[in-house]
Structure formats: C-alpha cells, structure tokens
Structure 1
Amino acid sequence: MKVYSTLFLSLFFLSSLSAQVEENTELFQTLRAKDSLLFNVGFNTCDISQFKALVSEDMEFYHDQSGITGSKADFIAGMENGLCKMEYKARRELVEGSLRVFPMNNNGNLYGAIQTGEHRFYAKYPEKEEVLTSTAKFTHLWLLEDGGWRLARVLSYDHEAVGK
C-alpha cells in the first residue's frame, strides 16, 4: 500500500507541472459527471449502488480526520454503517469553479486522471434547517479499468468546521 501511495503522491505533484484540461473537454465533462454520480447521487442520497459501480476494487481512501480505508469493501461498509445511519442527512456540494482535471498518460495513452476540487458539507436534522458544517479539499485518482472510469485513490483533507 505504501508503494502505491508514494507513487500516487509523486504522480500528483508531477502532474502539477503540466496543464489541466479545459472545462469543455470530454475528459473534464466525463469526470465532472462521475463526481456528480459519486456525490449528488451516491453520497447525498445514500445510494450505495453508485459507490459499487464507481469505486475500484483496490480503492484506498485517505481522510485527514477518520484515517485510512484500504479497500472497496471497507469503503462500502463505512458508507452503509456510517453515512447511511447518521441521525441527520448529509449533503455535499462542489464549490463552483474549483474542479480541475489533469490527464495521466503512459507513452501518450490515457490511463487515468487526477481530479481536484473543494467542497462543502451540510447537515439536515429532522424538523430543522439545513446548516453548513464544514469545508474540505479533495484529490481523486481515476483510472480507466475495463473500459470505464473507476475511483482508485482518494485524498480528503483540509476539513474545517464552519464557525471555528
């Protein structure tokens, strides 16, 4: 796992030397759509089928507050037993204009992409107004696997509680 993590971080920093793709490109639009499925459908409505479809089998998730999740199975279980069983409804919102996509090529062949951005998290308790609870940054490594895009690595960091 350390080798993949080191490789992922190295590739991320090296990718910052090249330009991100424009918002009107197919790659950007495809990964924006994947982000929407992951969060607007999966996270915001607790639709576990979205996570199952989008996440790579060897997915690794690094969170600055809750630690490391080392597999798809553990990630899905965490969603089912955490997010989907909270006393409030959680909602994630992408910060408009923050999404960036960097292609990953091997000898000119696209094999993946790094997606970065910022998001806000809200909580809606029964009988109460929805409130902004935190902001954070994310970095996703998407890989082309069996002809489809799968989320392989996640860095979720710089979580800040609102009002603190």
Structure 2
Amino acid sequence: MAHAADTDALPTGDALNRTIASLDTKVFDAFNTCDMKTFGDYFSDDVEFYHDKGGVQHSREAVVEATRKNICHKVRRELVGTLEVYPIKDYGAIEMGTHRFCQMDTGKCEGMGKFMNIWRYQNGQWQMTRVVSYDHHAIDTGK
C-alpha cells in the first residue's frame, strides 16, 4: 500500500500525461528491441496480465517469458493515436490506448488491439500492476 511519502511525488495533469507517455515509450522500446531485463523492470512481481488471445499471466517472469517466446524478433508494437491517462488517487494512473503490431521481417502491420495498463508509483518507481490487452484483430487493408 502506498504511503503518503510515496505519493507526494505523483505528478498531476499534463505532467502525469507526459510521465505515462514517456513510460509507455520506454517499456515498448524495450519490448521492440527484446531488452527483457528493462522490459521486465516495468512490471510488478505479482502483475496480472490479461490477454484476450493469450490468456492470463500472474507474474513478471511469466510476462517476460511469453514476450521472449512469442514476440522477440517477430513483431514490433506501435502506438496508434494518443494515450488516455487518468490518475488513481494515492496510487498512480490508468493508461489506455490502441496499438498495432508489425512483422519484423516484412514491416507489414497486420494486427491491432486495445490496452489498459494500471501503473503504480511506489518508492520512486513506476510499475504496471495490471495489464488488460484486448480486441486484437487483423487490420483491414481494404483489399
């Protein structure tokens, strides 16, 4: 549970939006380059990750291993549009958005989905404690 000292530094307003946008960039730069150490550091030990196609994972290790096995050097993630960020009093923030996934070998962006991340700010560190990744579907290219 967050203590008052932990939440004193919680940004608000535009500063919160910039903070979460920066975190999103950093975590997915690590995701896209398969820097699994850095990627894993953005998740709490007991993260809950809900994925409509992949099921549920209940630990940082499970999330990192699934990413290493299914994503690394295969696809890259790109943010589509802008993020929505909402504060959570004395805890952190909710981040919501849409992303697409592009094949590393062809560069073709064939999949899209939505996400909601719950970020906790504690002891000077931001980590995701809950992730919901859903509405994954093929991108309609109109062909």
Tell me which interval the TM-score lies in, with the shorter structure as reference length.
0.7 to 0.9
**Correspondence for 1:148 among 117, 125, 136:** 125
**CA–CA distance in structure 1, aligned partners of residues 93 and 33 of structure 2:** 26
SS in 2 for 1:95: strand
Q: Aligned partners of 1:95, 1:35: CA distance in 2, in Å?
A: 12
CA distance in 2, matches of 1:77, 1:124: 19
CA distance in 2, matches of 1:132, 1:52: 25
1:54 to 42, 61, 66: 42
Aligned length in residues: 130
| Paired position in structure 2 for 1:27 | 16
Aligned pairs for 1:89-128 within 5 A: 89-97=74-82, 99-105=83-89, 110-125=90-105
Aligned position for 1:139: 116
1:51 alignment partner, SS class:
helix
Gaps of 5+ in 1: 1-20
Structural mapping, 1:26-45, within 5 Å:
26-39=15-28, 41-45=29-33
Amino acid at match of 1:30: T
What is the identity percentage for the equivalent residue pairs of Structure 1 and Structure 2?
38
Q: 2:122 and 2:45 mapped to 1: Cα distance?
A: 10
Q: Hey, what's the Cα distance between the residues in 2 that align with 1:118 and 1:79?
A: 18
Amino acid at match of 2:78: E
Superposition deviation, residue 151 in structure 1: 0.6
Which of the pair has the greater relative contact order for Cα pairs under 8 Å at 6+ separation?
Answer: 2
Is there any run of 5+ residues in structure 2 with no aligned partner, and where? Answer: 1-11
Output the CA distance in 2 between the equivalents of 1:47 and 1:148. Answer: 19
| RMSD of Structure 2 on Structure 1 (CA) | 1.6
When the two structures are superposed, what TM-score results if normalisation uses the length of structure 2?
A: 0.84
TM-score (normalised: structure 1): 0.74
Q: Does residue 49 of structure 2 align to residue 72 of structure 1? A: no
- Aligned to 1:159, the other structure's residue is in SS state strand
Q: Deviation at 1:52?
A: 2.3
CA distance in structure 2 between the partners assigned to 1:31 and 1:156 by the alignment: 17
